Each structure stands twice: as C-alpha cells, then as structure tokens.
Amino acid sequence: MVTVGITGGLGAGKSAAASFLEEKGAYVFDADVVAKELLKSDPEIKKKLIDAFGTDILKNGEIDNERLAKVSFIGEENQNIINDIIHPRVIAAFREKLEELDDKYELVVVDAPLIFESGFDNHLDHTVLIYTQYKIRLERAIRRGTLSREEILRRMELQMPEEEKRELASFIIDNSGTPEQLKSAMESLYQKLMS
C-alpha cells in the first residue's frame, strides 16, 4: 500500500487531483471532512476549543463551523491553537483508517490543505503539491462563491507560502492550465507512484 498526501493552496485544485486518483481506484481520506466530523463527535476537542475561545464558537450547544472559522482566521496564533487541537486527532483517525483498510487498496490518498503544517507528511510515503499561480487560485476560489474576496485573501495569507511547500513536496504538479492537462499530469504521477 502506497500512501500519498495531496496539498495545495486555496483554489489550487487538490481535490480535483485527489478525485482523479480515486477514479483510478485509490482510497481518498479527506482531512477536512474528517476534521468537521471530529468537531461534532469528539468531546475532548470540543472542550479544548471552548477552553481556548469561550462559548462564542457554539451555536445551540454545538461547535459552529462558521463561528470557529471566523475565530481561526483572525490570525496565525488562533489558527495554530485550533490546528494543535485538531490535527493530532485527524492524523490518529488516518492511522486507524489505514489499519481498517488493511491493504485493500494499492494507493491511499490524503487530501489535506495543511499536510506540511500539521506534520501529516511524516506519516506518508509521498507528498504532492498541486501548484497554481496566485491569480488563478484567487479567481477559482471567488468563482466557488462560498467565501468573500476578503475571506479568501485572509485565508491565503495565513497558509504556508507555496514556495516553501515546493521545497518539501516529493512531486509538484502545475495546475495553471486546463482540467485535461491536470488529468494528464495526474495520470503520469499515478504511473510513477504505482511502478
């Protein structure tokens, strides 16, 4: 079983890249989805977040993702506190999932924006950076319509610079072109990973 983490800045196309590998038969572990599930189900995470930020992050007694996101993107310090609480649990969930999969898949992909920041890369065979020019990332993120331009810029500002990620990644794929070009690059990557 080969494990690979796919990362990239907001709007880079990491989920599209992970989907391609899923179509090839890989199991995809979506770190964001798992983190959101843990926010709902893990009482220890809830307690630590309330201890750190108070009850303003709650709505009807539960952690509200929007309120937590607002707190998170105020600045690097808040983001680090949240990440230090959630990331170890997400990595533990991944380790549990690997045991559960028990070599049923030849390739297991982790789709995560913070592979390097969280230390997730230490638990993987390879890492892939989906790299896209800043302007294109910004346009894609705006087109999604889920965040305001200001929120997008704030989040991009708080992410590790892609230049730093380039130094750390096992593979770099430029996704500044068409979806077909990304698919072709992912096909080549798949062949390398499986050889």
Percent with pLDDT over 90 in the chain: 78
2-194, superfamily in CATH? Answer: P-loop containing nucleotide triphosphate hydrolases (3.40.50.300)
Residue 13 pLDDT > 90:
yes
Look-up of token digits 């982790």:
110
Look-up of token digits 């950076």:
129
Are 71 and 63 in contact, with CB atoms under 8 Å apart?
no
Residue 33 pLDDT > 80:
yes
Residue 141 pLDDT > 80:
yes
Section 56-69 average pLDDT = 91
Is beta strand 171-174 parallel, antiparallel or unpaired with respect to 126-131? parallel
Residue 156 pLDDT > 90:
no
Are 190 and 24 in contact, with CB atoms under 8 Å apart?
yes
Residue 158 pLDDT > 80:
no
Sorted by sequence, the CB contacts under 8 Å of residue 75 that are 6+ apart come out as 158
Section 139-146 average pLDDT = 89
Average per-residue pLDDT in the chain?
93
Q: What are the two backbone dihedrals, phi and then psi, of residue 130, each rounded to the nearest 5 degrees?
A: -90, 110
Counting other chains too, the contacts that 166-169 makes at CB distance below 8 Å and 24 or more residues apart are 166/129, 166/131, 168/116, 168/121, 168/127, 168/129, 169/7, 169/127, 169/128, 169/129
- 73, 113, 158 from 77: Cα distances, Å: 9, 18, 10
Q: pLDDT value at position 115?
A: 95
Domain boundaries, the chain: 2-194
- Tell me the pLDDT band of 21, cut-offs 50, 70 and 90: very high
Section 57-76 average pLDDT = 89
Residue 151 pLDDT > 90:
no
Section 125-146 average pLDDT = 92
Are 80 and 119 in contact, with CB atoms under 8 Å apart?
no
Are 9 and 156 in contact, with CB atoms under 8 Å apart?
yes
Section 120-147 average pLDDT = 92
Structure tokens at 166: 């380039």
Section 2-24 average pLDDT = 95
Other C-beta atoms lying within 10 Å of the C-beta of residue 89: 17
Section 79-87 average pLDDT = 94
Dihedral sign, Cα of residue 9, residue 11, residue 14, residue 15: positive
